[in-house]
Amino acid sequence: MKVKTVRRVYLREAAVSLFLARIAVRVIPAARIFAWATRPPRRIRRFAVDETGWVLWAIGNAAAQSRSEALCLPRALAAHSMLRRRGIASRVCLGVAREHDNVIAHAWVEVGGDNNIVANPGTSTLTRLAEFGGSS
């Protein structure tokens, strides 16, 4: 496939995944969403690093192009679902940080075991509270 076609396919899937993740966060109970996120992919593809980059790129661009604000949890869930669909094991992580007198919560996606690829940079100051999913 041409690069232009690959971009278009990934962007369409990311837009749909992001839309569905936004609806899921508003309608479905959190316990059920995280139970889904904990399930492993049906098949595991260990050497799909290039697809991981495409997924993260597509989610970032789809979120930037959407008319409504894309919060971190729907973005993380959408990326996690796209990665699972491709057989790439990932984790949805939740964390908090204290900034002045405020508590800030954040969700992100990690891929891999020892050398993590983090979907949202700048998460190093966060205290990890929970992770859903697994890595192989």
The better pLDDT of the pair 96, 115 is held by: 96
Model confidence pTM above 0.75: yes
How far does Cα 36 stand from its chain's mean position? 13
Residue 101 — very low, low, confident or very high, per pLDDT cuts 50/70/90? confident
Q: What percent of the chain has pLDDT over 90?
A: 38
Q: Dump pLDDT digits (tens) for 51-87.
A: 888 899 999 999 888 777 778 999 999 999 999 998 8
Cα–Cα distance measured from residue 57 to residue 121, given in angstroms and rounded to the nearest whole number: 13
State how far the Cα of 82 lies from the Cα of 74, in Å rounded to an integer: 12
pLDDT in the model for residue 120: 62
Give the pLDDT band of residue 121 (cuts 50, 70, 90).
low
DSSP state of 41: P
Q: What is the pLDDT of residues 6-31, one digit of tens each?
A: 899 999 999 999 999 999 999 999 99
Residue whose C-alpha is closest to residue 82's, from 114, 107, 119: 119
Find the helix or strand (DSSP H, E) in which 106 lies: strand 102-111
Instruction: Indicate if the pLDDT at residue 40 is higher than 90.
Output: no
- What's residue 59's pLDDT? 93
Cα 70 from Cα 86, distance rounded (Å): 23
Q: How confident is the model at residue 99 (pLDDT cuts 50, 70, 90)?
A: confident
